[in-house]
Amino acid sequence: MPELPEAERARHQIDRALGREIVAVDDRDTYVCRPHAPGEIAAALVGHKLARTHRRGKFLWVETEDGGPVLGLHLGMAGRIAVEQPPAPRNWDRFALDFADGGRLALHDKRRLGRAVLEPDFAHVGPDAAEVGREEFRRRIGRGTAPLKARLLDQRAISGIGNLLADEILWRARLSPRRPAGALSEAELDALRRAVRAATRSAIRKGGAHTGDLIPHRHRDGTCPRCGTPLARDTIGGRTTYWCPRCQPG
């Protein structure tokens, strides 16, 4: 599930747990908590209270009160954040904080590609896709020979766009996912940025990246919801890509 809209939703979940004292931490999953050893995150967090949540793209982090340790979280391919008062015991809770009031914050993740880490480093993560300014967007996206879709998925360029959102954005902007990123005009880059913001905000409002207009048609035999042309399908940027060959030529 998780792209930028789901990460934003997860951030709101974490907000519900602010101010409560952490009394226990389940950090036993050494893959999700790598490179930390079991107990390391627990030792750092127990006794602290979560103070403030942040998000850049799909990356989440939480400050603790009085300048205490920072906890970084990532939902990976299938993660969710759940904050529950009477903690419902669940399978697939890969990481969890227990609070003094009996509540629990859990990273629920069937796959184990989610991540919990202390003092996360975002030096290599680009600006948030919904916040990036026009000039910086032109500079970071409109360069190189990589296909446009691959560039949108590159979290070092801008962060937050995943496979579904990328297809939705390119369809809205009427741009081919195969176009070399550096070949776009400034006008095309500006239009693309508008589509990024519009699709992202719409997805946050509606509840997820899967709510896009193109997404229900993203399957073999799918047709363009705008013109009815059968959608093209190929692997671009390492991911399965659907687009309308008529609306998005090139």
- Which chain residues interact with DNA by CB under 7 A? 1-3, 6, 31, 57-59, 74, 76-77, 110-113, 124, 143-147, 150, 153, 155, 159, 162-164, 181-182, 208-210, 235, 237-240
Is residue 239 among the annotated active site residues? Answer: yes
Closer residue to DNA, CB minimum distance, 163 or 176 = 163
Is residue 3 among the annotated active site residues? Answer: yes
Closer residue to DNA, CB minimum distance, 20 or 108 = 108
Q: Which residues on neighbouring strands pair with residue 107, listed in sequence order? A: 81, 95
* CB of 111 vs DNA, minimal distance in Å: 4
* CB of 23 vs DNA, minimal distance in Å: 27
Is residue 38 among the annotated active site residues? Answer: no
The strand order across the sheet containing 93-99 reads 22-26, 93-99, 104-109, 79-84
Is residue 2 among the annotated active site residues? Answer: yes
* CB of 174 vs DNA, minimal distance in Å: 21
Residue from 66, 45, 49 nearest 116 by CA: 45
232 three-class SS: strand
Alpha carbon distance 230, 247 (integer Å): 11
Which one is catalytic: 2, 5, 120, 147?
2
Which one is catalytic: 56, 58, 149, 179?
58
Burial class for 122, CB neighbours closer than 10 Å (0-12, 13-18, 19+): middle
Q: Scanning the structure block, which residue is given the tokens 């959608």?
A: 231
Q: How many residues does the chain have?
A: 250
* CB of 102 vs DNA, minimal distance in Å: 28
Q: Catalytic amino acids?
A: 2-3, 58, 239
